Structure 1
Amino acid sequence: MAFATAADGAALYYEVHGAGGPPLLLLSGQSNSHRWWDAVRGGFETAFTTIVMDYRGTGSSDRPDTDTYSTPGFAQDALAVLDHAGIGRAHVYGTSMGGRVAQWLAARHPGRVGRLVLGCTSPGAPHGIERSAEVRRALAQPDAEAARRVLLDLMYTPAHTARHPGPFHTLGDPSMPGHARRRHLRASAAHDAWDALPGISAPTLVVHGSDDRFNPTANAPLLAGRIPGARLHLVPGGRHAYFEEFADQATPLVRDFLLEGDG
């Protein structure tokens, strides 16, 4: 457990775990802390040294109410964490907004990224596929509990939630102040890495749930087709949190891909 310092002085909380293998930076989704990875991080720690962090505005990191929230900015924050941890080069696995952040890391700092995994993410507007108006309306309804049930259904299949009543760490950091939550939303919505994607040189795997309506599955082939040499894998039946519900498939898939570069 430690704190790095961002370029603007913000304190960034992070943790390092694992048995001393190659470093793997895990980047979580929008408005979520490092706890996004709690259910699956252990599956990587036998092979990697994992680094998880709280974005500014989440968890134990600072929560400035300033215009410093953006996906390129989050990428710079992640570099500050790696620098503080003494890690020059790491594999990177980003899911949802974390995948958007990871795109900037790989495109702008190729020497810092070994292999890259982009999960349930998109290139951003205007070239990405946005969620439907129906889904947007359901998430924006004034009844907070009803909106939470919609989000839960977008993340997991009913069979999974019937077996696992929670708590769920992928539904947003409940400790976030309103200003940080709004700034995260705007940062993710403003993401557009389309022009930068062809410049990514890291070996890349794109993973997506086949039934993802929160970040539509059609974004996966867009990303894979835009990044030179990228591979694409769809997890059958997976929704947005495929990496957790289908961890028995997704974790070995990602682990094996990352280890190709360390064998």
Structure 2
Amino acid sequence: MPHATAADGTRIAYQVRGEGQPLVLLAGQSNNHHWWDPIRADFEAAYRTITLDWRGTGDSDKPDEVYSTPGFADDVVAVLDHLGLDRAHVYGTSMGGRVAQWVAINAPSRVRALVLGCTSPGAAHGYERSKEIRRALADPARTGAVLLDLMYTPAWLAANPGPYPVLGDKSMPSYAKARHLVASNKHDAWEGLPSIIAPTLILHGTDDIFSPVANAQLLADRIPHARAELIDTARHAYFHEFRSVAGPLVLDFLAAQDRA
């Protein structure tokens, strides 16, 4: 497994598949690159896909120290540097979308086009999940079932018994899970969003209550020249369950930027 080295010496594992212009795919909180396994092939015919294991997950180092979404963004740039890539398309979902915001804010010349999925600008200015959901997720006996219900529709779950790649990296140390949770909860990119210069597409499921759908238009209004597309009846894992809708939306958007 190849690794890039971050500025603080942490080794970040990454994976490259496909050919073409580079497309970085960023996973959700406490997940590694396997988050993208069910749909990665949808992008590989047109793009050189690049994933990574967040610090604390997968084959990356797992330092027990403060993590942050801007810090994760620096790790993404370290991977681009290691690969010798000046620019790439960046598609981040959930916490990965929060990190993608910082990549576009802090390293604007590195982002050719930006896709933000099922994400938010942060708790200070965004719409957060309810206290009831937070309490349910905090109950170890219920966490898995609650997450599945937040991610997928009941009909899809009944027809697709799993495994489900979006429920977290089970190999993560407990301290790393806690560090990821704090990093995501403390995310606040509000002041930086108007400085984003990359063309931006925002995707969200209309029935997402894990990261409430109102965040989509909030981001679209805050980021210059951004547009939001809502996927009807989709929940948090819209990109997986509704891949036949979401995938073409992303591919068409990126192709338009490639032609520009």
Which consecutive unaligned segments of at least 5 residues does structure 2 have? none
What letter matches 2:160 in structure 1? H
Asked if residue 205 in structure 1 is aligned to residue 201 in structure 2, the reply is yes
Following superposition of structure 1 onto structure 2, how do residues 27-176 of structure 1 map, counting pairs within 5 Å? 27-67=26-66, 69-143=67-141, 146-176=142-172
Q: In 2, Cα distance between the equivalents of 1:121 and 1:147?
A: 20
Aligned with 1:4: secondary structure?
Answer: strand
SS at 2:139 equivalent: coil
State the Cα distance separating 1:66 from its structure 2 match: 1.4
Q: Which amino acid aligns with 2:89?
A: H
**What is the SS of the residue equivalent to 2:112?**
strand
Please tell me the root mean square deviation across aligned C-alpha atoms, in Å: 0.7
SS of alignment partner, residue 44 of structure 2: coil
Q: TM-score, normalised to structure 2's length?
A: 0.98
Q: Secondary structure at the match of 1:44?
A: helix
2:243 equivalent to 1:247: yes
CA distance in structure 2 between the aligned counterparts of 1:88 and 1:50, rounded to whole angstroms: 15
Shift of 1:261: 1.4
% same residue:
63
How far apart are 1:31 and its partner, in Å? 0.2
Does the residue aligned with 2:17 lie in a helix, a strand or coil?
Answer: strand
Q: Bigger CA drift: 134-143 or 34-43?
A: 134-143
Q: Which amino acid aligns with 1:56?
A: R
The 3-state SS of whatever aligns with 2:187 is coil
Tell me how far 1:35 sits from its aligned partner: 0.3
Amino acid at match of 2:239: F
Matched residues in 2 for 1:195 and 1:262: separation? 28
1:262 Cα offset (Å): 1.2
In structure 2, distance between residues paired with 1:248 and 1:59 = 28
Look up the SS of the partner of 2:121 in the other structure.
Answer: coil
Alignment partners' CA distance in 1, 2:234 and 2:65: 36
Deviation at 1:88, TM superposition (A): 1.0
Higher deviation after alignment, 71-80 or 1-10: 1-10
Say if 2:5 is the partner of 1:5: yes
Please state how far the C-alpha of 1:152 moved relative to its aligned partner: 0.4
TM-score w.r.t. length of structure 1: 0.97
- Hey, which bits of structure 1, 4+ residues long, moved more than 3 A? none
Q: Give CA-to-partner distance per residue, 1:3-51, whole Å, 9 cap, x none.
A: 0001111111001100x21100000000000000000110000000000
Shift of 1:142: 3.8
